[in-house]
Amino acid sequence: MPALLRAEHLANIGRQAPLKREVVTRRDIRKYSIATGQTLRKYLDGDEGPALYHVALFWDVVELDQLTPDGVSIDGLIPRLPLERAMAGGLKIEYHRPIRPGDVLVARRTLTDLYEKQGSKGPLIFYEVTMTVETESGDPVITEKTTRLLR
Amino acid sequence: MPKLSDLTVGTTLPGRSYKPDNVQLFLYNAALWNAHRIHFDHPYATQVEGYPGLVIAGPLIGEWLAQCVVEWLGEDGQLTSFEYSNRKAAIIGETLRSGGTVSAVDAQRREVTIDLHVRNESDEVVAPGKATVRFG
């Protein structure tokens, strides 16, 4: 079977998205904590963000006309690929310090890998995005690698 | 609360059971700003995407894997790394159960590694994970 990914796709490895800067609020931590069924008071009271709170904090706030018909936002970091149906992937995270209300955090996202595999029901394309989250003064908070697959 | 000195490879974490409804799924996706139709549009999820119902968001299940660790750990230590993947779709109406098993204990570094899972009612692992914690 011919390879789906061509040189022009692979040339995007190393590409960076514009920096995102977000202010952490107690209200947003509380909403996230309730919605995820937390039981520890430090999360429910908004004193500290739960393990995947940064996923919500840095999810793209897109305008309605930027959503595809299936309701997904187009990730500008990822090039147009030969497969387009998004399936959930996985995350690998290192924690350097907790996220707390009042933090001003900066996220830098880089496309760090792009490859294909043959799945049991057809070809799959995988991509890896590395996101580093730091304080405004440059102290590391989180390093996260996300792998997503398309079918 | 666990004591590092009591932990050995094979120690199990209690875990929790989850039966999310569409209200919880709505609030979760609203908190993210995630409009993926498989999470709220039943005709789309079933007829277009072919799922048996509304799909529980993958990172929400990821959060439950992490909960399994942090609720067991309490204030005795910190999560230092965490990974997971979504292997099989989980559908609103299903009951899921989290759990974990200690896979390594490094007493010198005060670090413990834990294998994690969320299983469905058929005992299939819908999301495997792994966490490292450091005791204070």
CATH number at residue B126: 3.10.129.10
Categorize the per-residue pLDDT at A84 as very low, low, confident or very high, splitting at 50, 70 and 90. Answer: confident
pTM of the model: 0.92
CB within 8 Å: B33 and A90: no
> Is residue B33 situated within a structural domain?
no
- CB half-sphere exposure, A6, CA atoms < 13 A: 4
What does the alpha-carbon distance between residue B30 and residue B40 come to, in Å, rounded to a whole number? 11
Residues of chain B neighbouring A131 (CB-CB closer than 8 A)? none
Quote ipTM for the complex: 0.96
> Is residue B113 situated within a structural domain?
yes
The pLDDT of residue A120 is above 90: no
- Give the B-side interface with A, CB within 8 Å: 18, 20, 24, 27-28, 30-38, 41, 44, 48-49, 57-60, 62-64, 66-67, 70-71, 74, 78-86
Owning domain of residue B91: 4-19+58-135
Smallest CA–CA distance from A64 into chain B, residue: B35
Is B84 within 8 Å of A90 (Cβ atoms)?
Answer: yes
Q: Single out the residue of B105, B79, B11 nearest to residue A92, CA to CA.
A: B79
Q: What is the CA radius of gyration of chain B?
A: 17
> Is residue B34 situated within a structural domain?
no
The pLDDT of residue B87 is above 60: yes
The pLDDT of residue A13 is above 80: yes
> Is residue B35 situated within a structural domain?
no
B20-77 residue pLDDT tens: 999 999 999 999 999 999 999 999 999 999 999 999 999 999 999 999 999 999 988 9
Identify the structural domains of chain A with CATH numbers, from first to last: 7-150 (3.10.129.10)
> Is residue B32 situated within a structural domain?
no
Q: What phi, psi does B68 have (nearest 5°)?
A: -55, -35
Is A148 within 8 Å of A142 (Cβ atoms)?
Answer: no
> Is residue B15 situated within a structural domain?
yes
Token reading at A19: 């920096």
